[in-house]
Amino acid sequence: GEDVEQSLFLSVREGDSSVINCTYTDSSSTYLYWYKQEPGAGLQLLTYIFSNMDMKQDQRLTVLLNKKDKHLSLRIADTQTGDSAIYFCAESSHLPTGRRALTFGSGTRLQVQP
Amino acid sequence: NAGVTQTPKFQVLKTGQSMTLQCAQDMNHNSMYWYRQDPGMGLRLIYYSASEGTTDKGEVPNGYNVSRLNKREFSLRLESAAPSQTSVYFCASSSGTGGEQYFGPGTRLTVT
């Protein structure tokens, strides 16, 4: 089946840049997503990238996509303590029914040290 | 505009009890989903409904049933709860399958 992999933990200092990496398997994914989950809350859509793009920038967030290697990254510039959360990568993949659904990675816990 | 709402927020059940988790969305989305989240395992799809009147199994459907009551509402039922069903359950919706999904706040279920 389809699989999305992420490293489990990242620790950075406040003001530094954070880079969270993800690899996926479905080469037919049209969109790839980044979600943020704060403690005790649901998942919040952060940003997404269309598969024919290499890069997307949205304020402090930069998404890079290497389609050949099926590698996606999320860079957060000037990381703040409020960015501490779990970040999930997700790809749009086919289910056995032929329909598409999102397949999520296990999440990367970002800890920002003051 | 509440987005996706879920009830209850917390629930404790004894093994063998049944319950229904409720989900509603006000974004006029066609597709709705139920996930469970366990530590270190990300989100796993239990069931989904691509459109009103259809439901399909996801990755981990055993022990669950769903009902798409109307376009707004999608419920998840545990007929005979087991400790392995202790988890956080999230409902989500999207305009179409495979597109960006919007999540509810979750239901924390403990089965003793």
> Which is more confident, B2 or A81?
A81
pLDDT in tens, A32-64: 999 999 988 899 999 999 988 999 999 999 999
Using an 8 Å CB-CB cutoff, list chain B residues near A9: none
Residues with pLDDT less than 50, chain A:
1
CA angle (A92, A98, A104) in 5-degree steps: 25
Element holding A109 (H helix, E strand): strand A108-113
Q: Which residue of B has its CA nearest to A39?
A: B105
- What pLDDT does residue A2 have? 58
Kindly report, residue by residue over B60-98, the tens digit of the pLDDT.
Answer: 999 999 999 999 999 999 999 999 999 999 999 998 777
CA distance A27 to chain B (A): 14
Nearest to B48 among A8, A101, A106 (CB): A101
Asked if residue B99 has pLDDT above 90, the reply is no
Closest by Cα among A44, A31, A56 to A83: A44
Å from A87 to nearest chain B CA?
Answer: 10
Q: Which of B5, B89, B93, B103 to mutate to test the interface with A (most CBs of A within 10 A)?
A: B103
DSSP B64-86: EEEEE-SSSBEEEEESS--GGG-
What pLDDT, on the 0 to 100 scale, is given for residue A99? 76
Mean pLDDT of chain B: 94
B32-59 tens-digit pLDDT: 999 999 987 789 999 999 989 899 999 8
Of B41, B101, B106, the CB nearest to A106: B41
Between CA B106 and CA B87 the distance in angstroms is 10
> Which residue of A95, A106, A108, A109 to mutate against B (max B Cβ within 10 Å)?
A95
| Per-position b or e across B77-111, b if 16+ CB within 10 A of its CB | ebeebeeebbbbbbbbbbeebbbbbbbbbbbbbeb
